[in-house]
Structure 1
């Protein structure tokens, strides 16, 4: 992920651990905390994606289709959030705006994975709990 990668290149690992996120005040601290949130959301999204792939493991065509859709979505998110970063490129808030875009889109994608692949048409329980969007 380009925006997260750019931000993390500028942040020493020891500094990331030292930020108290509930009390983050500076652009830098907020950015570090948002990067952590994005990493956590990425883990959740991968969990839902892995569960979706496992559900359809017996059908290679479906698995390939899910994987292709995910790759396309990753490219789209990079371009979309890259455009947000570009809008704010002259300000110190650019990383936060890009990270915010990436975080929101990852939450939406996780929910879409759940809705598309891990639920039933009737009222049967879903494979995983419905992920939060906000």
Structure 2
């Protein structure tokens, strides 16, 4: 059931991407729901790239801990999917269900990036190779 749900989400996001052949101007007001989903998906992709950058630096800095870090990341990804699936199901009858799920994914990804930074890079004994990811500020579309 979870795999089917994940496939449906991927299919939906692919359909949205195909529907929006031209890049949506995410800075303008009065976007359609599909435009908002595309803009939010772009934000999610950027947030995931940032998290991966932090993970790469952490694993290269602490290679002896890479196995446990990778394991914790895998478990965290499962939690993120499960939690955001619950958000999607909560809003299942509304058009907000997809934006709510993507917003959930973005927020949790930022929280994870911040946690990775504070756990492994923000050490009093050395300078951090990457900056504090800062506080999460949700965008409005």
Report the TM range for the smaller structure's normalisation.
0.7 to 0.9
Tell me by how many angstroms 1:18 deviates.
Answer: 2.2
Corresponding position of 1:125: 127
Instruction: Report if the CA contact (8 A) 1:4-1:99 is conserved.
Output: no
- Distance across 2 between alignment mates of 1:35 and 1:101: 11
Aligned with residue 22 of structure 1, among 27, 30, 37? 27
TM-score by length of 2: 0.83
Instruction: State the secondary structure of the residue aligned to 2:27.
Output: helix
Instruction: State the secondary structure of the residue aligned to 1:92.
Output: coil
Alignment deviations for residues 75-122 of structure 1 (CA, whole Å, 9 cap, x no partner)? 0000000000000011111000000000000000011111111121x2
Aligned with residue 45 of structure 1, among 44, 51, 56? 51
- Between 1 and 2, higher relative CO (CA 8 Å, sep ≥ 6) is seen in 1
Which runs of 5 or more residues in structure 2 are unaligned? 1-5, 137-141
Aligned with residue 76 of structure 2, among 45, 56, 73? 73
TM-score by length of 1: 0.88
CA distance 1:91–1:16, change in 2 (3 Å) = farther
Corresponding position of 1:106: 109
Instruction: State the secondary structure of the residue aligned to 1:46.
Output: helix
